[in-house]
Every structure is written in C-alpha cells, then in structure tokens.
Structure 1
Amino acid sequence: MPVERTEALVIGAGQAGIAASEHLSANGIPHIVLERSRIAERWRSERWDSLVANGPAWHDRFPGLEFPGDPDGFVPKEQVADYFEAYARQINAPVRCGVTVTRVTRLRGRPGFLVETSQGAIEARQVISATGAFQHPAIPPLVPQTAGIAQMHSSQYRNPAQLAEGAVLVVGAGSSGVQIADELLAAGRKVYLSVGPHDRPPRAYRGRDFVWWLGVLNKWDAEATPSSEHTTIAVSGAHGGHTVDFRKLAARGMVLLGRTESFAGGRFSFAPDLARNIEAGDANYLSLLDEADAYVAANGLDLPEEPEARRIGPAPACMTDPILSLDLAGAGITTILWATGFTSDYGWLQVDALDAAGKPRHQRGVSPVPGLYYLGLPWQTRRGSSFIWGVWHDAKYVADHIAKQRGYLAYTPAVQPEPEMA
C-alpha cells in the first residue's frame, strides 16, 4: 500500500487541533487532522452531565465564531462540543475521525516523520501533537482495589444517581472537585471534601466577570513560574456562575478536610492544613479585589462598589477543629471520587522530544526536534494557554513558525556556486 504524504499532520481534533487547522490554512499549509474519536470528544464523553464552561460565552470562544444565546451565559458541555464541530465545518478543517495514531518516528536521511495509524501510514514534514496534557486520569495509588469501596475519577462521574447510596469522599478541590461535591451535596448526599492549596478568584466583581479582570490586569498573559504551573484554581460557571466559597459549603453541611496524605486499615489520614489552605485561598481572593479596586480608581471607571464582596464568613468547625483521621465505614462513605487531575502519555511519540519525566520539551510549543510541535499544554506560552481562546493564539504562533521554516527551506541562491576543482 502506498504511503500517503502531507505537509503537516495534526494529531487531535479538540480545541487545539481545530485552532491549528485554522492557522495552517491561513498560511496556505496543506495538512490533515487526525482524531481517534469525534471532534471535541472529551467534552462529550469524559465530563459530568451538568458541566458548563468555566468562562462566559463572550470570552471562552474562538474569534471567528460566537456561541448562540446569552453572551454572558456559561455554555453546557454538549454545546461546547457542537461549537467545535461547527467551527471545523466553517473553516473546512480536513479532519478524519476514527483514526488512532500508534507511533511517530523520524524519517531516515531526510526531513519529516512517519506517522503510523490505525488506517495506514502517513509521511508528514511537520507534526503537531494537539492531544494536550489531560489524557489519562490520575488516581493516587493510596487505596487498593481490594479495600471494598467504589473508586472513580472525576472524568468517569456523570451524576449523583450513578453512585451507590451513602456518603462520598471527594479528593481534590479544584474546579472539577468542588463543582461535583457541590452537586452531590445539593442532591442530598453527605459529602466530605479534601481541600489542598488553591487559588479562588471571585466569579464576578463590580459588574465584571473574573475573566475580564484577569484580562485588563494582564494576568492571562502571565508566564509560568515554578509554582504557578501547578496551582489549583477553584472557580465555577454552574448555576449561572458563582464564587467558590468553602466556608459557605461547610455551612450547608459539607465536611471539609485537609490535604489527603495516606490510607491504611480503612482509614484516611489528612494533613493539618485545612485552615491554612482556606485562609490562603481567601487571601488570593481578596488580593484580586484589591487589584481590581486600584484599576478602577486609576482609570476612572464607573463600576459600582461592592463592599459585601469583602465579607469573609466565620470559620466552620471543620476548620477550627479539623478531622485528621477518618474511618470510611464509620462515616458511611461508599464512594471515593478522585478529582486529582490527569497525566499525559506520549509513548507513541518516539522521536526523542520528551524530558526524563516523559513531558514535552519545547519553547512556546516548538520542539527541539525540527518539524515537531505541541499544542494545548498548560502554560504553553501563558496562563491562558489551557483555555479555548488561549490555545487559539498559541496555535497561531505554531503555524506562523511552521510557515517561517518553510520559507527558509524553500530558499535557493540566485546563483549557484561553481563546484571546486580537485
């Protein structure tokens, strides 16, 4: 069977892959986009039923297409997936669904790559890995499967009715963990939530959503620092969008716990850091209010003051008298839900482009291997890289880099030098 050839090949047709296709086309670069399932599949099949985008519709989108409906609303996950399918049609993205990439290797003696897939091999001068970093659910190896309790990752959770009767322990209080815990609590479940260090911005302040504030304060363009890359953000677009307030969750009956440390003999142990984590989150929240107020004053904006936003509620009993050890059976816990993030797997990428930990080596998505690029990585160029609008800008940078390299490679001197005589 003859090997198919293309100039550029994009692996993955989520938000990163579709953005890459748009910018490659704008640069006149022939390409193919391969997707193992459907366009934006993770939005459909790896998220809970009630999930909505964490940013309002006017912000979390590509420049070339608006979401229908309320621009200040938070779009349900199925409509987000529909949006990317519509966008792919709008730009005539050459997407092939149902094709799994099994291995990528460099061609011998000439530039480019051999991409082996479930439907045959393709040679490409450039390859863009647009699979992102959220590929495999990360579950800490604390509780053995023989412990007799149900365990699931947040990517497997769909709704409260899916879980066995009984209390639920949610480990991880980022956006996913806190939204799922809130939903379970509203459904009448007894919920325990393990809370680690986190940032918790206001959902909105002085009539503007927090995404607006991060924009005008130039925080979306902040570059990564060793600590910022791993910061957990607690924010929610659920119920029309609201600020995550752990103290209020506790007042509604949720039991807050410190960072999960160990498990033995049917008991979890937690670090004595719950109060410190919540107070640090409060300080992060208030610091953004301070910056917003300073911006309003400096720029003479007519935005209404909001003194109530600075009111921090009393510390609940679980903060002042923290639970450091919890017997699952005694607490009636029948399910552990791990909202502990994801790991990446680049085992198929066999081109010496990863570091010792198996993570991509790159600068703004440009690999040290000529012709290999990445898209959709957290903090790839800035804080906003993991967001829908942010990856669109990263994709432009990558596509422009490919176009520049093509220009260099196409150059030939006007006058060829005479060969030297022996």
Structure 2
Amino acid sequence: MADETVDTLVIGGGQAGLTMSHRLKQRGIGHLVLERGRIAERWRSERWDGLMFQFPNWSVRLPDFAFPHADADGFSDTAAIIAFIEDYATFVTPPIRCGVEVTKLRRDAGGFVADLAGGSIAARSVVVATGPYQRPLRPALLDDHPGLFQVHASSYKNPPQLPDGAVLVVGAGASGAQITEELMRAGRRVFLSVGRHNRLPRRYRGRDLFWWLAEMGVDETRVEQRGPSRLLPVISGAHGGRTIDFRRFAADGVTLLGRVTAARNGVLAIAPDLTSNIANGDAYYATFLGIVDDFIAARGLDQPADPLARLRLPDPPCLTAPLDTIDLRAERITGVIWATGYGLDLNWIDIPVLDANGVPRHHHGVSEVPGLYFLGLQWLSKMKSSFLSGVGDDAAALADHIAARG
C-alpha cells in the first residue's frame, strides 16, 4: 500500500512540470509535482557558461507570465532563463517537492504508484514532464584513448576547462556550432565534425526566424504533418544572434570534417560526406528563404529585400579537399567535445508504454494507458510543443483530458 495518495502526480519540475501544475490549478485538480533535483535542474547543471538562448526575448513566455527584458530582439543567457523559470514557479506556487527522484512508476488497481527512495505515492493520473534531454549520447569511439580529455556538451562549461591544445568538436547542431565559435574566439584551434543538419537563417528580410515561423503558422504544424527529417535547426543566439555559416567558420580558422566513423591508435577515420552534408544544409537554408519570399509576395507584406542572405563564401580547402583521416597526436588535439545530442531515459516506467527504442507511445501526450500522460517532448502535438512558448497549449489540453476523466 502506498504511503500517500494524490489525484494527479506530475514528474519533473522544469518549465513543463510547472506549466502543468498551473493548468491543473486553473481547473481545480489536486496534484503534486516531484523534481529529482532543483527547479529547472537541467538549465542549472547541464548548460555551459556562455550559452545564449536561441529564442529572441520577445518570443520567451510561459502561460500568463511574460519574460522581462530590455531588448525585445536580443537573446538572454542561461542565468536569465533560470531566473525566469524560478519567478514563474513563484507565480504558480506549485505543490512541489524537490530532491525527490521517482525510481519506478508502476500500475496498481487504483491507477499508478510511484516508488521513491523513501516510500511511494499513489495517483489516479500521472504526467511525465521530464523533458527531451535526459540521456547524453556519447559514442564510445575514443574510450580506450589514454590521456585524451573528453566531455559531452551537457558537461562542457568553458574553454579553460579543456587542456591546452587543439579541440575536436563532434556534432554541428546548435550546441556544437555555438561551442565551436566560443572556442575559436578563445584562440583555440578547432576541428569540427559536421554531419547532416538543417541550417536556417537567424534573421531574414528584417525579421527573426521565429517571427517567420509564427507568422506563417509553421510552428503550429501538427505532428501528423511532420516531414521525415528529425534534425533540429542549426541556429545561435550568441553575439546578438547569428546565422550559422560553416564556410565562415572555416574562413576564421576552423577545420571542417565529415562524420567520425572509427578510431584506431589515435587516428580517426572520416566519412567522405562533408561536401554532401554542407550542400544539404545549404539547400535547406535556400528552400526556407524561398518559402518566406513566396509568403511575402502572396500576402503583399512590406519587408525589405535581403540579398546578403544569399551570398556564399568560397569553398574553403577543407571542403574542396576534405580529410579522410585525422591523427590526434599529429594535430595536437588534446580534447574532444561530443555535441552528439540526447536520448530519452524512461526505463524507470515499469508500464508497457514504450516502443522498442524507449520512446513513449502516445497521441498528443495522451498515452495508450488510461491516466498516463507525457508533456514537454519534441513534437508532442506540434512543432512548438517543446518551446517555452508552446508547452502551455499541450499542458492545457492534457489538463482538460484529466478533468474529463472525472
């Protein structure tokens, strides 16, 4: 028998869990929020010092709560986002317990039981709001290379953390690109392994990327209409917000590489895919510009032309004659940053609701198991589901579903 009973249990105390609490309170539904660490724990412990949020300040908001800022078109650092989430928690006043980790979630006759280190809690409904960035993915390619400093992007803090010498950054998504630029500006020699990516403009024709996504309704795209690509856009909020241009990186001294496929005795094998990866990123970028141009023309919008957005730097030598191997010792590479993304870690859910890849089966956050819900995942119901500005819509829908259960 459980030690305690609540109507609805929310697992996770980040922006998704807090927003869920807000929506439940609005509907008078009793609930409890459990957080394994502190409120916004991953923002505190799994971000590097110089990270700048990728969303412009004007777009940052949570339900019924505005983000304070002095520059609407600027970008905020991690400390400002943490303070915003803390202030939101003060506004919501959720019934939350921090430092409490759920070790197992199981079913019982009345609904669910969450096992904790010091007891258990029974609930009629459960919302799993632990976010999409749970398990850092780090290849084991260089695990047997002695003396090489290696760190996943989630544990990278700043350039002085790394030993003297050159740095290899594996992964050219938003994190890998921003970390590469930070290292480059710190005077480090950087090698960047570039895989397939979706490159988009930071700004185009006088407006930020996210303004265009909202204006065109793209951020409302339903998951059922999602295309085959699962790549996140490569954008940056650093230095006032910049379009990521890998040719510019190369012109500034970064050596671009294809995917790292193998390693032996400190020599890395590099796939012959750099040229195609850059070309695919360019094509994605150009397609988006064309979509915006067509939208402007169809709506008769008065937006200035932006010919500079289509200018392309010459291909650098590392792109015209890409390397097929790289010797870590010869290049004096002493550190590797794995910007290789994240996976879900939901194995503590002892309920048959995960597929073979550990991904929950659900429809817009409503699982196949009555009373079990998910919130804050990428593309939960639509493109903006995992945005700070989008999680509130999903939370409201789930709260309505919970209320309708009676």
Structure 2 length as normaliser, TM-score?
0.96
Partners of 2:302 and 2:2 lie apart in 1 by: 66
Equivalent pair of 2:47/2:157 in contact (CA under 8 Å):
yes
**1:415 corresponding residue in structure 2:** none
Deviations, residues 2-50 of structure 1 (Å, cap 9, x unaligned): 7211110000011110111111111211101111111111111110001
Instruction: State the 1:388 CA deviation.
Output: 1.1
**1:87 corresponding residue in structure 2:** 88
**1:102 corresponding residue in structure 2:** 103
Partners of 1:161 and 1:269 lie apart in 2 by: 28
Query: What runs of 5+ residues in structure 1 fail to find an aligned partner?
Result: 407-422
Structure 2 SS opposite 1:131: coil
Letter in 2 for 1:213: W
**2:16 corresponding residue in structure 1:** 16
Structure 2 SS opposite 1:220: helix
Equivalent pair of 2:8/2:125 in contact (CA under 8 Å):
yes
Letter in 2 for 1:171: V
Deviations, residues 366-415 of structure 1 (Å, cap 9, x unaligned): 11111111111111112222211122222112111111222xxxxxxxxx
Which deviates more, 280-289 or 215-224? 215-224
Instruction: State the 1:71 CA deviation.
Output: 2.1
Instruction: State the 1:227 CA deviation.
Output: 5.9
Which deviates more, 284-293 or 5-14? 284-293
Instruction: State the 1:226 CA deviation.
Output: 7.8
Equivalent pair of 1:41/1:81 in contact (CA under 8 Å):
no
Instruction: State the 1:145 CA deviation.
Output: 3.7
Partners of 2:63 and 2:106 lie apart in 1 by: 35
Letter in 2 for 1:141: A
**1:258 corresponding residue in structure 2:** 258
Q: What do you get for the CA RMSD once the two structures are aligned?
A: 1.5
Deviations, residues 325-373 of structure 1 (Å, cap 9, x unaligned): 0000001100111000112211211111111222211111111111111
**Runs ≥4 in structure 1, deviation > 6 angstroms?**
none
**2:388 corresponding residue in structure 1:** 388
Partners of 1:266 and 1:246 lie apart in 2 by: 26
Equivalent pair of 1:61/1:389 in contact (CA under 8 Å):
yes
Equivalent pair of 1:229/1:378 in contact (CA under 8 Å):
no
Identical aligned residues as a percent: 49
Letter in 2 for 1:287: T
Equivalent pair of 2:29/2:403 in contact (CA under 8 Å):
yes
Deviations, residues 58-106 of structure 1 (Å, cap 9, x unaligned): 1132142222222222121111111111111112211111111111111
Aligned residues: 404
Deviations, residues 111-135 of structure 1 (Å, cap 9, x unaligned): 3111111342111100111112211
Letter in 2 for 1:101: V
Structure 1 SS opposite 2:44: helix
Partners of 1:229 and 1:375 lie apart in 2 by: 21
Partners of 2:116 and 2:44 lie apart in 1 by: 23
**1:220 corresponding residue in structure 2:** 219
Partners of 2:366 and 2:125 lie apart in 1 by: 11
Equivalent pair of 1:137/1:342 in contact (CA under 8 Å):
yes
Partners of 1:352 and 1:278 lie apart in 2 by: 41
**1:336 corresponding residue in structure 2:** 336
Query: What runs of 5+ residues in structure 2 fail to find an aligned partner?
Result: none
Structure 1 SS opposite 2:10: strand
Residues 2, 312 of structure 1: CA spacing in aligned structure 2 closer, same or farther, 3 A cutoff?
closer
